[in-house]
């Protein structure tokens, strides 16, 4: 058999245990260490060395994790304890291991030392009946397990169906950004859960417990919460950490908080990142939807907007602006709420810049003026729309024209039906870059 013992940083055992479940189903918490039995799975990963590299590679905290490998989990834990104490590994393992590295022997270390028994091999050489009567059967059972003569009796970790984790704060948090230390630790657990479940996060809920029931005579709720959403399934904690940090910076706590809870309220199957073999397609930097979400969290959702196409022929009504996060803008932009109603051939005529309100033009000798007389360059493009709204229909003839001062402009003439039978008024509606 092949065992690996890990010693994660304090408070990160759960996250590392869930992460280890991606590589073997036999993971257990034993004393201060996590133990992994990988003899049945390490060949799938190219051997124990490659398995360890994959276990540590994507995690920024891997440099702080100590580990040891051995034939049984008790030997691996013993080697890990020697490593922590800065002691050399004895030439004969496991016989030469100190008894202080065996958990079951620690209550009897002084008694065993007075008999000259300080190593595993010396204890194993004693008569088993006498050891059982004097120190109890659990010591012999642990020794047999350590030497591989008894099967390991571990309580194996299992991954919960739903992610819901909480943490007691080391000190009362008086501001929302002060919750980020605890939130980061919970996000590490979430990342391990998502990877083990092969899911991507779509919505998280942070909930903190208020330490006061009343403030200045005003009753307070027991909890406050913050919901964080993403446009696409995410496993990247750097992006989620930025989103949580930006939104917490805009929150004001009603009272100091003592506990923090993180729940995954919505998720989707993780399809992985789509990569191209062409280097020019793999652009560095964050993706568009991540930038939109971060700016929306920092500036406010109403300050970052995207256009949504509308089924209308009038240029000023062809789109409306909505919150980018509310619309779910992704890599390809917003999803139209209706099909574009304009004829495809006319799309190429639209200018790059529309005026907020059409500008009425002066007319001299039936020629509209804007920085001089306008010279029409195209035949008319006629629209008739808006008859279902109050104020009458929009009956317009559009032209691309040239202005001596402004260059190419987009103008239209009202149809005579709206102009009382006259020649029709002229309006400027757009410019071409």
Q: Between these two residues, 281 and 163, which has the higher pLDDT value?
A: 163
List the structure tokens of 287. 């993706």
Decide yes or no: CATH 3.40.1010.10 for domain 164-269.
Answer: no
Q: Which residues contact 173 (CB under 8 A, 6 or more apart)?
A: 179, 182, 208, 253, 256, 257, 258, 260
pLDDT for 60 beyond 60: no
The pTM is what? 0.61
pLDDT in the model for residue 75: 94
Q: How far is CA 66 from CA 88, 102, 367, in A?
A: 15, 18, 84
pLDDT the model gives residue 343:
43
User: Which residues is 224 bridged to in the sheet?
Assistant: 208
- Give residue for tokens 């979430």: 190
pLDDT at 391: 67
Please give the backbone phi and psi of residue 153, each rounded to the nearest 5 degrees, phi first.
Answer: -110, 75
Residue 274 phi, psi (nearest 5):
-90, 120
Q: Is the pLDDT of residue 339 over 50?
A: no
What 3 state SS string does the chain have? CCEEEEECCCCCHHHHHHHHCCCCCCEEEECCEEEEECCCCHHHHCCHHHHHHHHHCCCCCHHHCEEEEECCHHHHHHHHHHHHHCCCCCCCCCCCCEHHHCHHHHHHHHHHHHCCCCEHHHHHHCCHHHHHHHHCHHHHHHHHHHCCCCCCCCCECCCCCCCEEEEEEEEEECCHHHHHHHHHHHHHHHHHHHHHHCEEEEEEEEEEEECCCEECCEECCCEEEEEEEEEEEECCHHHHHHHHHHHHCCCCCCCCEEEEEEEEEEEEECCCCCCCCCHHHCCCCCCHHHHHHHHHHHHCHHHCEEEEECCCCCHHHCEEEEEHHHHCCECCECCCCCCCCCCHHHHCCCCCEEEEEEEECEEECCEEECCCECEECCCCEEEEECCCCCCCCEEEEEEEEEECCCEEEEEEEECCCCCCCCCCCEEEEEECC
Long-range contacts formed by 332-335: CB under 8 A, 24+ apart = 333/288, 333/306, 334/306, 334/307, 334/308, 335/308
Which residue would you say has higher pLDDT here, 428 or 303? Answer: 428
Task: Report the pLDDT value the prediction gives residue 340, as an integer from 0 to 100.
Answer: 39
Examine the pLDDT at 54 and tell me if it is beyond 90.
no
pLDDT band at 349 (very low <50, low <70, confident <90, very high): confident
Confidence of residue 359 (pLDDT cuts 50, 70, 90): very high
What tens digit of pLDDT does each residue of 158-176 get? 989 999 999 899 889 888 8
Query: Is 402 within 8 Å of 375 (Cβ atoms)?
Result: yes
Of 242-246, 392-396, 421-425, where does the model show the most confidence? 242-246
Residue with the larger pLDDT of the pair 361 and 11: 361
CA dist 310 and 341 (Å) reads 7
**pLDDT exceeds 80 at position 207:** yes
Quick one: pLDDT at residue 337? 38
Q: What is the mean pLDDT of the chain?
A: 83
User: What does each C-alpha distance from 94 to 55, 78, 129, 188, 420 come to in angstroms?
Assistant: 26, 9, 22, 35, 105
Q: Residues 285, 287, 290, CA angle at the centre, nearest 5°?
A: 115
- The mean-pLDDT minimum among 51-65, 76-90, 273-287, 377-391 falls in 273-287
Output phi, psi for 176, to 5 deg. Answer: -65, -40
The pLDDT score that the predictor gives to residue 336 is 37
pLDDT at 327: 60
Answer whether 77's CB lies under 8 Å from 85's CB: no
Where does the pLDDT of residue 282 fall: very low under 50, low under 70, confident under 90, or very high at 90 and above? low
Q: What φ, ψ does residue 400 adopt, rounded to 5°?
A: -95, 130
pLDDT of res. 9: 84
Q: State the Cα–Cα distance between residues 248 and 260, nearest whole angstrom.
A: 13
Does 234 score more than 70 pLDDT? yes
Q: What is the pLDDT of residue 368?
A: 93
pLDDT digits (tens, 9 = 90+) for 360-409: 999 998 899 999 999 999 888 888 887 777 767 888 899 999 999 999 99
Q: Based on the number of CB atoms within 10 Å of its own CB, is 285 exposed (0-12), middle (13-18) or buried (19 or more)? A: exposed
Across residues 42-63, what is the average pLDDT? Answer: 76
Spatial contact of 413 and 407, defined as CB atoms under 8 Å apart: no
pLDDT at 157 exceeding the cut of 50? yes
* 417 pLDDT higher than 70: no
Per the listing, tokens 């330490």 go with 211
Ranges of each domain in the chain? 3-146, 164-269, 305-342, 345-431
> Would the pLDDT of 345 be above 50?
no
Q: What is the pLDDT of residue 74?
A: 94
pLDDT at 206 over 90: yes
Tokens of 1: 């058999």
Phi, psi of 242 (to 5 degrees): -65, -45
Among residues of the chain, what percentage have pLDDT more than 70?
Answer: 86
């Amino acid at each position: 058999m092949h065992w690996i013992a890990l010693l994660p940083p304090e408070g990160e055992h759960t996250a590392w245990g869930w992460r280890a479940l991606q590589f073997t189903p036999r993971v257990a918490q034993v004393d201060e260490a996590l133990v992994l039995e990988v003899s049945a799975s390490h060949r799938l990963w190219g051997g124990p060395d490659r398995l360890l590299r994959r276990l540590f590679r994507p995690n920024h905290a891997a440099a702080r994790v100590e580990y040891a490998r051995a034939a049984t989990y008790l030997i691996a834990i013993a080697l890990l304890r020697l490593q922590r104490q800065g002691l050399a590994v004895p030439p004969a393992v496991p016989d030469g291991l100190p008894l202080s590295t065996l958990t079951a022997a620690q209550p009897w270390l002084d008694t065993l030392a007075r008999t000259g028994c300080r190593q595993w091999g010396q204890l194993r050489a004693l008569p088993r009946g006498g050891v059982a009567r004097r120190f109890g059967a659990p010591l012999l059972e642990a020794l047999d397990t350590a030497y591989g003569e008894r099967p390991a009796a571990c309580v194996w970790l299992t991954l919960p169906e739903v992610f819901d984790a909480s943490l007691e704060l080391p000190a009362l948090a008086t501001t929302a950004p002060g919750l980020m230390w605890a939130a980061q630790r919970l996000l590490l657990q979430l990342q391990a859960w998502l990877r083990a479940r092969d899911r991507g996060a779509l919505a998280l809920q942070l909930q903190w417990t208020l330490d006061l029931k009343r403030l200045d005579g005003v009753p307070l709720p027991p909890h406050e919460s913050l919901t964080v959403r993403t446009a696409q399934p995410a496993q990247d904690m750097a992006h989620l950490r930025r989103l949580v940090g930006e939104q917490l910076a805009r929150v004001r706590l009603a009272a100091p908080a003592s506990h923090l809870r993180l729940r995954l309220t919505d998720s989707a199957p993780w399809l992985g990142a789509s990569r191209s073999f062409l280097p020019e397609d793999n652009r560095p930097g964050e993706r568009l939807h991540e930038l939109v979400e971060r700016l929306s969290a920092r500036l406010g959702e109403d300050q970052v907007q995207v256009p949504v196409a509308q089924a209308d022929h009038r240029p000023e009504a062809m789109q409306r602006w909505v919150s980018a996060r509310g619309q779910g803008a992704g890599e390809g932009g917003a999803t139209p709420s209706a099909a574009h109603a304009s004829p495809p051939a006319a799309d190429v005529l639209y200018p790059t810049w529309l005026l907020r309100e059409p500008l009425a033009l002066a007319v001299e000798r039936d020629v509209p003026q804007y920085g001089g007389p306008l010279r029409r360059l195209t035949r008319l493009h006629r629209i008739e729309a808006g008859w279902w709204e109050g104020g009458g229909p929009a009956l317009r003839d559009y032209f691309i024209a040239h202005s001596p001062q402004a260059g190419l402009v987009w103008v239209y003439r009202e149809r005579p039906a709206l102009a009382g039978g006259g020649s029709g008024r002229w309006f400027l509606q757009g410019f071409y870059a």
